[in-house]
Structures are given as structure tokens and as C-alpha cells.
Amino acid sequence: MTLSNLPPLVTVFGGSGFVGRHVVRALAKRGFRIRVAVRRPDLAGFLQPLGNVGQISFVQANLRYRKSVDAAVHGSDHVVNCVGILFETGRNTFDSVQDFGARAVAEAARGTGATLTHVSAIGADANAESLYARSKGRAERAILETVPDAVILRPSIVFGPEDGFFNKFAEMSRFSPVLPLVGGGETAFQPVYVTDVAEAVAKSVEGKVAKGKIYEIGGPEVLTFKNCLEILMKTIDRKRTLLPVPFGIASMIGSIASLVPFITPPLTSDQVTLLKSDNVVSANAQTEGRTLQAFGIAPTSVEAVLPSYVVRYRPQGQYSRSGSAA
């Protein structure tokens, strides 16, 4: 194979993260050359078996340092940005990572002539009350100003083997007889399977959807926070009290938890703010066809996948007999 007919090169920022690793797998299956841009390439070696020998390479990059972003994008045909944080730590703030960082990726892509796919989130709004949603909204605006033909994907809450939602509450249920329902558990989600999100990203890289648009990606059903925990408890055969916690009290707990150094806070006040709004595909996106259907993907339900990766949280793990709730 000569240099002129090599497969396209795709740089994936955040390729070792939850969504990113599935994106890398989906791209590798399609034969793309993949450059994974991460802060710690030495910790990303687990991705190499996802492709053929030499198909996946690694480069050090930090979205807060523009030169490293430019170097990672150099020579790429397409760029995918999967980087996102759920809470702020030190210099990794929402503005530095999700706003400034996304702008840097877009400018680098424009500079090298690469097309761009950006993974955002439902609820992104430059004027949002939540710092997380505000930074996501500002990033989207900057991206479309810089690369007008970029494809932006806004998933609802993403579930899958390494997710931080179902796994978090399943782990909590092993030690606590009570699980909190922030705001009464009425917030609506449209959980979307991580493999479906990755397939949507891969199809955008292939050019199979209209460019310059924002797509809202949700699963086949709308579930409340309470519904999600009920399904989880049934799946792992555990009975736990679901305790409603008012937003005000939850926000106070989150503020205190965020002050404890060297631990991952179970909840932050900004996450509580996010939970005040439903996280579902908008009516406009449905009417305009800016959903998973535009990618030709049939969304996967929570109950079709959840048992495959939360079985370890059952009282006796995979050896538990169904119906023997603990």
C-alpha cells in the first residue's frame, strides 16, 4: 500500500475514556488509521488490541495546551473530540476543558483542513444555569463558528459496561440500605447505549449524515431517575429504599462533598443543577430528523444490555439465583 492510498487518519481526543474507547473500536472495525490523543499515552495501551498491528497509535495531548493539540491533529483527515468532565478538579475546569479545549480542537482541525465530529451533551446551552451545560453550549457555538460543517452529537445519559451512572448506584447499593432520589427522582432521562453513540460518531466520520448540524442522541425510552434505579435494583436482585432528597439539600451535600480533597465527589452542586432539567431528545430534533434515526441506528434499550455488566453487583455475583433479593 502506497502513501497515496492509505486509509484516512482519524485523531480521537479522549480516546481512552468511556465513550472514546468505543469510538476507537467502531473506527478500527471500519479500517481507519487512528491516532489516540490522550494526556497519558502510557495508560492507553489497552486500546491497541481493538485494531490491527500498527492501526492504532498514541500521542500525548492536553486540551489546555494548544501546541499539543496542533501536533496531535497534524496530518489528520478527520478529528473526533470525546473529551468531557463531570466535575472540576484543579486546573481541569469546565471552561478550560469543555470550552477552551473544544475551541482549540476546532481551530486545529480547521488549520489542517480536517473535518470534525464533537461529542457534546443534551442540555448544552451557552446561557444555562449549570456551569457544565454552559461550557458545553459555548463550545458548540465556537465549533460551528470555526468549522461550520462540523457534526455535533448531543447524547443523553450514556450507559454501558464502564458507565458512571448505573455502576455508581449499583456499587452504592452493596453497602447502603438507602439510595438517594435527588429532587424526588422525577428528572427524565433517555439513556443511550455507548455502542450506539460510537456507531453514530463512526458514521459521521464516514460522511453518512448531513454536516453542520447538531444531533440529539437518545435511547428508545424515556425513564425517570426513579425508574432507572428501580430497573437497576431489579436487575441486581437487591431491595433498597429509594429516598427522595430535595434539590436544596442535595445541592448543599454536593457543595460539601466537592471540598473534600483527593476523592471523587459522589455528587456536586452543579450536577444537582443539571438534574433540575429533563435530559431527553427535544421535540425539534425529532421533527427535524436530527436523532439516531438519521444515522440508520435502531437505539438499544437499557434492559437489553444492563444485565450483562451489572451482574457482578448481585448478592453472589453471577451465581445469584434470580429473585433472591438481598
Which residue type occupies 114?
Answer: A
Q: How confident is the model at residue 261 (pLDDT cuts 50, 70, 90)?
A: low
Instruction: Look at residue 254 and tell me if it is in a domain.
Output: no
Is the pLDDT at 118 greater than 90? The verdict is: yes
Portion of the chain with pLDDT greater than 70, in percent: 95
Instruction: Look at residue 78 and tell me if it is in a domain.
Output: yes
Instruction: Look at residue 84 and tell me if it is in a domain.
Output: yes
pLDDT in tens, 221-259: 999 999 999 999 999 999 999 999 999 999 998 888 776
Instruction: Look at residue 11 and tell me if it is in a domain.
Output: yes
d(CA 217, CA 295): 10
Instruction: Look at residue 81 and tell me if it is in a domain.
Output: yes
d(CA 319, CA 298): 32
- DSSP 3-state of 44: coil
d(CA 207, CA 199): 12
- Quote the DSSP letter at residue 280: S
pLDDT in tens, 85-100: 988 888 889 999 999 9
Q: What is the domain-level CATH number for residue 25?
A: 3.40.50.720
Evaluate whether 129 touches 273 at the Cβ level (below 8 Å): yes
The whole-number average pLDDT for the span 13-35 is: 97
The domain in which residue 51 lies consists of 3-149
pLDDT in tens, 135-146: 999 999 999 999
Instruction: Look at residue 258 and tell me if it is in a domain.
Output: no
Q: How confident is the model at residue 208 (pLDDT cuts 50, 70, 90)?
A: very high
Count up the domains in the chain and report the number: 1
pLDDT in tens, 119-165: 999 999 999 999 999 999 999 999 999 999 999 999 999 999 999 99
Instruction: Look at residue 155 and tell me if it is in a domain.
Output: no
- Quote the DSSP letter at residue 48: G
Instruction: Look at residue 277 and tell me if it is in a domain.
Output: no
For 237, left (φ over 0), alpha (ψ -120 to 50), or beta? left
Stretch (H or E) spanning 29: helix 18-29
